[in-house]
Amino acid sequence: MASNKCEYCAYYVYNETYECYECMVNLDEDDLERFLRSSTDDCNYFKSGDDYEIVRKQN
């Protein structure tokens, strides 16, 4: 189950074929092992999917 942080990530997309959300980050074998052993709260690949984040920072 994904954490709240994953739900806001640009790489966390809905797969209509399997009818579920999945992470679309392309990891090699070593990166995948590190990712699976760590907490999703500390994901190095997180990219905000919030298009308005920059606007809020400017105001």
In eight-state DSSP terms, residue 52 is T
Give the model's pLDDT for residue 19: 95
* Residue closest to 41 by CA, chosen among 11, 3, 1: 3
Domain that holds residue 54: 4-58
Buried b vs exposed e over 35-53: b needs ≥16 C-beta within 10 Å? beeeebeebeebeeeeeee
Total structural domains in the chain?
Answer: 1
Using DSSP's 3-state secondary structure scheme, residue 9 falls into: strand
For 20-57, what is each residue's pLDDT tens digit? 999 898 988 988 888 788 765 677 788 887 666 655 55
Q: Which residue has the higher pLDDT, 12 or 56?
A: 12
